[in-house]
Amino acid sequence: MSSGRSGITVAALTALLALAPQVAAQDASTLKKDMIGQWELATTERSKTCVVTLKGDTTPQGFKLELEPGCVKALPFTKEITAWNIKGLDIVRLQDATGQPVIDLTEVESGIFEGLRTGEGVYILQNLAAARSLAKSMDQMIGDWSMVRGNGQTICGLTLTNTEATGDNFQVFLKPKCDPAVAAFAPNQWRLERGQMILMSAAGQTWQFEADDNAQWRRVPDTADPLIMIRGQ
């Protein structure tokens, strides 16, 4: 009885091992098909962007791609990129002429890939249409906002701008007569990051807000006395 069970186990394991390369090949093939088209390679908050067209034509080291003319100025490391490839099950590699990685990007959300370049930071590869939709969303954030309590009491006014501050952040200005808690926090920069609005102080503190709808953002984690950002007012 024991010998029979062992034989079944070995047979099942052998079948799984034989199937694994096929599944991996199918996953890589599917990812390659999904990647063909126009993508945006950018810093995390899109202050510097590059349009990359990934193609299905083969090269000696991978597959062909095209970079828009402004890529090297925006992202200097892209001058080394000559092709792209799929590595493993979910890694999109932008590589040099020898096949070495210039940057490896892994899918972190559906259609969004993230890669790290040592000493430089994180870069995002996103479908171009989706990225431009995000840019439109960011443009809609520019202007005057009110910070209110859950009871509707306005405690501060602030203005989000598209003026670059440091890195991928933009300047924000508080209006006079803010609540002491907000005045003490004193945010001077903001950015959008993975669906959150982030306010930052000169001291490095951050407040995160998530959208309830297009015109209202609630601070997270939520509390019994919520803090909400509302357009205008």
pLDDT bucket at 130, cuts 50 / 70 / 90? confident
Which pLDDT value is given to residue 136? 65
C-alpha closest to that of 179 among 144, 153, 197:
153
Of 45-49, 59-63, 202-206, the least confident = 45-49
Do 53 and 111 reside in the same domain of the chain? yes
Structure tokens at 98: 């020898």
Do 128 and 156 reside in the same domain of the chain? no
Long-range contact list for 142-145, CB < 8 A, 24+ apart? 143/231, 143/232, 144/231, 144/232, 145/229, 145/230, 145/231, 145/232
Which pLDDT value is given to residue 190? 93
Where a domain ends, among 95, 117, 134? 134
Indicate which CATH number applies to the domain containing 164.
Answer: 2.40.128.10
Alpha helices in 96-179 (DSSP H): 128-141
Structural domain harbouring 182: 142-231
81 three-state secondary structure = coil
Which pLDDT value is given to residue 233? 57
Do 129 and 57 reside in the same domain of the chain? yes
Do 209 and 161 reside in the same domain of the chain? yes
What is the total count of domains within the chain? 2
Kindly state whether residue 4 falls inside one of the protein's structural domains.
no
Q: Are 101 and 93 in contact (CB under 8 A)?
A: yes
Do 175 and 207 reside in the same domain of the chain? yes
Do 124 and 146 reside in the same domain of the chain? no
Where a domain ends, among 101, 134, 167? 134
Dist CA 182 CA 184 (whole Å): 5
pLDDT in tens, 72-85: 999 999 999 999 99
Kindly state whether residue 74 falls inside one of the protein's structural domains.
yes
Do 129 and 155 reside in the same domain of the chain? no
Which pLDDT value is given to residue 228? 92
Kindly state whether residue 110 falls inside one of the protein's structural domains.
yes
Q: Is the pLDDT of residue 203 over 50?
A: yes
117 three-state secondary structure = strand
Residues sharing a CB contact under 8 Å with residue 167, sequence separation 6 or more, in sequence order: 43, 45, 47
Do 122 and 156 reside in the same domain of the chain? no
Which pLDDT value is given to residue 27? 58
Do 63 and 148 reside in the same domain of the chain? no
Do 160 and 87 reside in the same domain of the chain? no
